[in-house]
Amino acid sequence: MNRNRKKKNRKKETGAVVSLLLASSLAFGGCGTAVTSSSSVNAESASTESTGETSADNAAATSESTASENAMESASDINFDLELTESTIDTEFTDREKSGSYKALEAVKITLNKTTATVSGSGAKADGSTITITEEGVYVVSGTLEDGQIIVDASDSDKVQIVLDGVHINCETNAAIYVREADKVFITLAENSSNTLGDGNGYTQIDDNTVDGIIFSKSDLVCNGTGSLTIEADYKHGIVSKDDLVITGGTYKIAAADNGITAKDQIKILDGSFDIDAANSAVKAKNTDDTELGNIYIAGGIFTIEAEQDGFHATGSIVVDDGTITVNSGDDGFHADLDTVIHSGTILVEKSYEGLEGKRVVVNGGDITINASDDGINAANSGDDGANAINPGANAAGSGDDDSNAASSNNDSSAAVNSGDDSSISGAADGKEPPQMPPDTENGSDMQPSQDFDPENAPSGGNAPQNFDPGNAPSDGDAPQKMQGGPGGGGNSELYIKITGGTLTVSADGDGLDSNGSLLVTGGTTIVYGPTSDGDSALDYDGSAIVTGGTLAAIGSAGMTESFDEASTQPVITYYCTETQSADTIITLTDSDGSALFTVTPEKAYASIVLTCPEMKLDATYTLAAGTDNEEITLTDIITTAGTRSVKTMSDPEGGKMPNNSDNKGTPPSKPSDTAE
């Protein structure tokens, strides 16, 4: 915030903010069938810039399904209790932020002439190649500066709009556009315009602020319009806001020696096209002073990201409501210190160390594909489990801080991963619409926890428990179906992975879904191509694992296989192959009539299968065909184990000792180092 400004009033009105209650759930009627509802931003419903009080439609709600009255007695001693996240996500886009319009005839004209500039109108002045804007207004800029700068130094109540209309600015020693003081600055890319900004490899500071980005703002910053902007950041960051950063349109190509786009309080993106190549993280929000802030909200846009560290990084939370996102990262595709939440969108993490990471990871919808050299999805707290832990605070990659350093290169030893494009899944749900959260009548959109889940009325038809306490899950002794590799009954109750909808495909060299707390699946279609090493598993959790709906197949090695707990309400088959099956050998589950309920072609070799589907019923008999195996299985229990575990494991194909029941998870690949702050 500016030193002389009051902290902005972040309205907690209905639709204006979302305090994330991660307890949304859905009912599913059959294998691969998902029903979801939209939570994306309605770009036409936001308020004007002057009021800023009406939020985007449906962006702040997530539906809660009620629990069925027919509970399983085995779940009667579990207290499901979800906690409210600390983050406050602002989903509001004002009319002025979205429009990018201006009155050209009333605007001040600034013409750049290589080494000088001319100003036509009041509110700005030129001194050689430095242009200083001191008053509220609209300024249309065109031309070229070979080594110069635009500075905004207005009052803290002024709104300034800078229209780039064919602008090419290079500043060797500082930011090309530097916002020293204003209430809010709009950088508008004029229609059909092409603009470029560049810098040198070192900055000379001109005041008390430590400027470290080609566009650097101490105030709220908005980028909009329909033109294009190319940024070549040779020194550090591309776009930096030390307050809020909002982007609602435009085409951006950013190459940065550190972070691509960064902000302190929050980053909100409604639309636009983004091609970002960053030596650190591509999109980053970092606020170590306030846990409600440091958030990223994506409501739309097309993203192509190459990052040596994280694709998206937030010290608060990340929420994706829509968009088409492709990420190649040396570390995590999406990393939040608190919550990573995907409501909708098309997300492809082509390469990563871990695909989605956060204290809590929730998938409510979307079409998501993850390739990871370690865990596909990881729910972890700071400092947990060594290499699997989230790297917090000062150890996290930089987000435009004054003292941030360039990122280190990623780990060269990370194993290559497959794209998963060759696999085929029948009956997959599209999951395009995220569930809605009901508004809290007393607190606007600041969502509060729902009533504690009554285990006597646990769901039986695919409805999720409204509250989920992983810390009070059954121990190993109460859940014999939980296979080797997990301590069971433990874990941190604040950590979890939750899947309620969408289509999720994970290919991981480490654990597929790895929760240092618990795992809850209530819907969607989830396919996990887990590890081929016996030191990892397709499913890995420390607390409890509950499935009440949706389709899930976790396919991988057998050495550390974990299944779901008996507190689940949807039947699960845990199957051990008689021998390791090669990649591309089809898995099919058929009912007694010969109808296929599920089929998939795994992209990796496998020796175990954990499979659940809404059409699977207790006491019914099914046939599971997996490569050379073909076995009839009668579901006598919620968790039915079948097949023959071979003494030949995937890491010891010639035979050897059976894996023991220890918690030896093997040695994961080294997490990429992150020296930047």
Reduced 3-state DSSP string for 426-453: CCCCCCCCCCECCCECCCECCCCCCCCC
Q: Determine the Cα angle at 597 with ends 595 and 602, to 5°.
A: 120
Give 672's pLDDT tier (boundaries 50, 70, 90). low
Rounded Cα distance between 624 and 245, Å, is: 52
Predicted pLDDT at 85: 56
Bridge partner list, 184: 159, 220
Tokens representing residue 3 in the block: 């030193």
Q: What is the mean pLDDT of residues 320-332?
A: 98
**What share of the chain has pLDDT > 70, as a percent?**
66
- Predicted confidence at residue 559, as pLDDT, reads 86
Structure tokens, 460: 């039986």
Residue 432 φ then ψ, to 5° = -80, -20
- Give the model confidence (pLDDT) of 578-628 as tens digits: 999 999 999 999 999 999 999 999 999 999 999 999 999 999 999 999 999
* 534 compared with 658, residue with greater pLDDT: 534
Query: What is the C-alpha to C-alpha distance for residues 114 and 102, in angstroms, rounded to an integer?
Result: 26
Mean pLDDT of 22-42: 32
pLDDT of residue 535: 82
At residue 4, what are phi and psi to the nearest 5 degrees?
-100, 10
Mean of the pLDDT values across residues 557-580? 95
Whether residue 354 has pLDDT greater than 50: yes
Residue 205 has pLDDT above 50, yes or no: yes
User: Which of 51-65, 331-345, 409-423 ranks highest by mean pLDDT?
Assistant: 331-345
Nearest to 16 by CA among 101, 111, 67, 88: 88
**pLDDT score, position 89:** 87
Report whether pLDDT(236) > 60: yes
- pLDDT of residue 275 exceeding 90, the answer is yes
Residue ranges per structural domain of the chain = 95-395, 460-643
Whether residue 649 is predicted with pLDDT greater than 80 in this model: the reply is no
Q: Which of 89-93, 170-174, 259-263 has the lowest mean pLDDT?
A: 89-93
- For residue 172, pLDDT over 60 is answered with yes
Residue 670 is predicted with a pLDDT of 54
Confidence of residue 530 (pLDDT cuts 50, 70, 90): confident
What residues contact residue 209 under an 8 Å CB cut-off, 6+ apart? 180, 216, 218, 402
**Average pLDDT of the residues in 491-503:** 90
Q: Determine the pLDDT at residue 493.
A: 78
Residue 166: is its pLDDT beyond 70?
Answer: yes
More confident residue, 573 or 390: 573
pLDDT computed for residue 673 by the predictor: 55
Is 398's pLDDT higher than 60? no
Burial (CB < 10 A; 0-12, 13-18, 19+), residue 619, is exposed
pLDDT exceeds 70 at position 159: yes
When mean pLDDT is compared across 198-207, 526-535, 608-617, the lowest value belongs to: 526-535
Q: Is the pLDDT reported for residue 572 higher than 90? A: yes
Under 8 Å between Cβ of 209 and 241? no
Give the least confident one: 132-136, 262-266, 664-668: 664-668
CA atoms of 486 and 540, how far apart (whole Å)? 7
Higher pLDDT, 219 or 475: 219
Mean local confidence (pLDDT), 381-403: 41
pLDDT band, residue 88 (cuts 50/70/90): confident
Mean pLDDT check: name the lowest of 118-122, 147-151, 414-418, 651-655: 414-418
Residues 563-591, mean pLDDT to the nearest whole number: 97
- C-alpha distances in angstroms, 144 versus 111, 112, 147, 192, 647? 8, 5, 9, 17, 71
Q: What is the mean pLDDT of the chain?
A: 76
